[in-house]
Amino acid sequence: MADGRDDKTCASCGRTITWRKAWERDWDRIRYCSAACRRRRVRPADLALEDAIRDLLAARRRGATICPSEAARRVADGDDEPDAWEALMEPARRAARRLVAKGELEVLQGGRVVDPSTAKGPIRLRSVP
């Protein structure tokens, strides 16, 4: 929190948006962290990835984790390209960050919960206990 204003979550990528002086007049209207996210928004494939993450976790025992690639593979299933799921990896991570912001999910690295906005490298996803 800076200057008494709460941080926000980007509606597209799920990363934390920290208040900046330049946004002082528009802070209530800020929804995206960048021009790229504003252009990208949330598309049907992004919503399908969120649903795939929820479905995969619901099918597992409580406390079990999944890899974002599992959701990407599920959404890409049926695509003619054998490696189409690879293009969905970053969108799957964005979907996971949005679900974390909604309070539905935790992102783990090395068995520990981490901030999804700053996590680099392999991650696992788990439903909030």
Topology adopted by domain 44-127: Arc Repressor Mutant, subunit A (1.10.10)
pLDDT, one tens digit per residue, over 57-98 is 999 999 999 999 999 999 998 776 778 899 999 999 999 999
**SS3 of residue 124 by DSSP:** strand
Report yes or no on whether pTM surpasses 0.85: no
pLDDT in tens, 27-66: 888 888 888 988 888 899 899 999 999 999 999 999 999 9
Strand partners, 125: 66, 107
CATH 1.10.10.10 placement within the chain: 44-127
Tokens coding 74:
């599920």
